[in-house]
């Protein structure tokens, strides 16, 4: 397939190396980090209003975290050798640390915190259920069936410490993803010390928006009332992080425009042509300014509850689209111009291939199936165990 090229590209540059799957990867890890940080608001910072989403946020983080390595694995030329990154990691490589950061976050933070938080219910379920279910929940107790007040207090304290460690770990997970891009000095679109910080704040934005949306959708599905105090508080935090994220991104953009170094002409061209829709329209206007202005408006004016719900749902969706566009613009946008700054290539996605649209879509849908299973196994709400229709 001939790839349309404008100007001059080094001959090996015409084909893009990192596909849509590498867009999906930081998007998914961002949701994980953001969801976990939202969960920590209640646990560490005692923001009681967001308590209804605490457990759900943890389960969302786990569901997406389990999917996070899949796009990378599918992208590798030799996935069967991926274990070498653990066995013989190259110490100077930012990418080599992925496995360790990932494992730390999965095993030492998310899984441990969920287990500690759910242990009481797991033990009760292991006693109240029968057959295979009983065996399953007994296995989940990991042999720890003491649910005395003292033991639960220890769970709570240890869980608090794990969350405390989890916050910098969440920053590490996603800041590290930003560092993978930000440390590539060959690519001026990526090379920026702001990249890890921008990735962290955009992760928080997407994670908070995702938890808000999923919480509202689940309440709708369960025919339960939405806790508006909770959603209002989440929206407030979404606004705050969004403002910081937008300020950082604009700082980066304005700095590039004002400095106008040798790469500027190239990047400016991209922004006005190939990336205009995804960067200016989707990311900046629809995905950032509209949600910020809408939620900001709600903070200032008295908006009826029904309208707020609709506004939050729309803003949540736009935010998710905007953050996905941001990942796209970083990953794909960073490969559309030549390192000679003299030409541009085109990214053509295949529908059906190992790195095609269908696989990317499947990877984005898969966490929701995992989440459905997790919610079934470990219900995040006490009410969900009560008969419905009350």
Partner 1 sequence: MITRRKLIVLLPAAALAWKYVVAGTPELAPNYNRSEHWWGMLLDIDKCIGCGNCVRACSTENDVPDGYFRTWVERYHVEDWHQEVPQVDSPNGGKDGFPPSTAIGGKNFFVPKMCNHCVDSPCTQVCPVGATLHTPDGVVLVDESYCVGCRYCIQACPYGCRFLHPRKLTAEKCSLCYHRITKGLTTACCENCPTGARQLADLKNPADPIHEFLKTHSVQVLKPHLATGAKAFYHDLDGSVR
List interacting residues with partner 1 (CB under 8 A): 8-13, 15, 17-18, 72, 75-79, 81-82, 84-85, 88-90, 92-96, 98, 180, 184-187, 265, 335, 338-342
For the purposes of burial, counting CB atoms within 10 Å of the CB of 351, is it exposed (0-12), middle (13-18) or buried (19 or more)?
exposed
Reading phi first (left if > 0) and then psi (alpha if -120 to 50, else beta), residue 223 is in left
Coil vs helix vs strand at 282: helix
Q: Which is nearer to partner 1, 166 or 188 (CB)?
A: 188
Q: Which helix (H) or strand (E) holds 70?
A: helix 69-75
CA R_g for the chain: 22
Of the candidates 319, 329, 328, 325, the one whose C-alpha atom is nearest the C-alpha of residue 242 is 319
CA–CA dist 203, 35 (Å, integer): 9
The nearer residue to partner 1, 44 or 184, going by C-beta atoms, is: 184
Find the shortest distance in angstroms from Cβ 87 to partner 1: 9
* Closer Cβ to partner 1, 99 or 291, answer by number: 99
Question: Cα dist. 265→2, 182, 258, 268 in Å?
Answer: 26, 20, 12, 5
For partner 1, the closer of residues 74 and 303 by Cβ is 74
Comparison of 90 and 220: residue with beta carbon closer to partner 1 = 90
Chain length of the chain: 390
In degrees, to the nearest 5, what angle opens at C-alpha 55 toward C-alphas 383 and 71? Answer: 130
Q: Which is nearer to partner 1, 78 or 223 (CB)?
A: 78
Q: Please give the DSSP secondary-structure letter assigned to residue 280.
A: I
CB of 269 to partner 1, least distance (A): 12
Contact 310, 353 (CB under 8 A): no
The nearest distance, CB 90 to partner 1, in angstroms, is 4
Contact 187, 334 (CB under 8 A): yes
Residue whose pair of structure tokens reads 């996905």 in the numeric block = 324
The span from the CA of 145 to the CA of 152, in Å, is 11
CB 325 within 8 A of CB 287: yes
Q: How far is the CB of 41 from partner 1 (least distance, A)?
A: 34
CB of 25 to partner 1, least distance (A): 11
- E strands along the chain, which residues? 6-7, 343-344
The answer to whether 247 and 214 are in contact (CB under 8 A) is no
Nearer to partner 1, 349 or 365 (CB): 349
Q: How far is the CB of 278 from partner 1 (least distance, A)?
A: 20
Q: Which is nearer to partner 1, 259 or 390 (CB)?
A: 259
Smallest distance from partner 1 to CB 79, Å: 8
Look-up: residue for tokens 């922004």?
Answer: 271
Between residues 157 and 348, which has the closer beta carbon with respect to partner 1? 348
* Least gap, CB of 346 to partner 1 (angstroms): 16
Q: How far is the CB of 99 from partner 1 (least distance, A)?
A: 9
The C-alpha atoms of residue 66 and residue 56 are separated, in whole angstroms, by: 15
């Amino acid at each position: 397939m001939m790839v349309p090229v404008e100007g001059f590209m080094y001959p090996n540059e015409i084909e893009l190396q990192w596909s849509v799957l590498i867009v999906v990867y930081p998007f998914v890890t961002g949701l994980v980090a953001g969801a976990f940080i939202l969960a920590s608001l209640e646990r560490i910072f005692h923001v009681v209003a967001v308590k209804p989403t605490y457990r759900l946020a943890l389960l969302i983080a786990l569901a997406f975290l389990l999917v996070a390595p899949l796009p990378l694995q599918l992208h590798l030329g030799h996935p069967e050798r991926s274990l070498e990154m653990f066995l013989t990691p190259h110490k100077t490589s930012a990418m080599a640390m992925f496995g360790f950061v990932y494992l730390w976050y999965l095993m030492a933070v998310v899984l441990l915190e969920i287990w500690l938080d759910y242990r009481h219910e797991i033990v009760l379920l292991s006693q109240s259920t029968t057959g295979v279910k009983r065996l399953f929940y007994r296995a989940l107790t990991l042999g720890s069936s003491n649910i005395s007040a003292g033991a639960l207090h220890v769970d709570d304290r240890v869980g608090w410490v794990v969350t405390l460690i989890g916050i910098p770990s969440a920053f590490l997970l996603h800041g590290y993803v930003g560092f993978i891009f930000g440390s590539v000095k060959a690519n001026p679109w990526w090379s920026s010390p702001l990249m890890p910080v921008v990735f962290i704040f955009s992760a928080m934005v997407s994670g908070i928006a995702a938890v808000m949306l999923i919480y509202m959708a689940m309440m709708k599905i369960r025919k339960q009332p939405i806790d508006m105090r909770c959603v209002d508080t989440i929206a407030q935090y979404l606004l705050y992080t969004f403002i910081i994220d937008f300020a950082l991104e604009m700082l980066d953009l304005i700095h590039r425009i004002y400095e106008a170094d040798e790469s500027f002409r190239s990047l400016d061209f991209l922004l006005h042509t190939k990336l205009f829709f995804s960067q200016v329209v989707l990311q900046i206007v629809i995905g950032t300014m509209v949600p910020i202005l809408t939620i900001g408006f709600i903070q200032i004016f008295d908006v009826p509850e029904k309208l707020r719900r609709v506004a939050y749902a729309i803003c949540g969706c736009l935010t998710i689209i905007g953050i996905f566009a941001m990942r796209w613009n970083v990953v794909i946008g960073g490969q559309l111009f030549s390192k000679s700054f003299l030409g541009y290539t085109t990214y053509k996605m295949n529908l059906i291939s190992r790195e095609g649209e269908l696989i990317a879509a499947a990877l984005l849908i898969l966490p929701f199936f995992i989440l459905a299973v997790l919610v079934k196994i470990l219900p995040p709400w006490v009410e969900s165990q009560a008969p419905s229709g009350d």
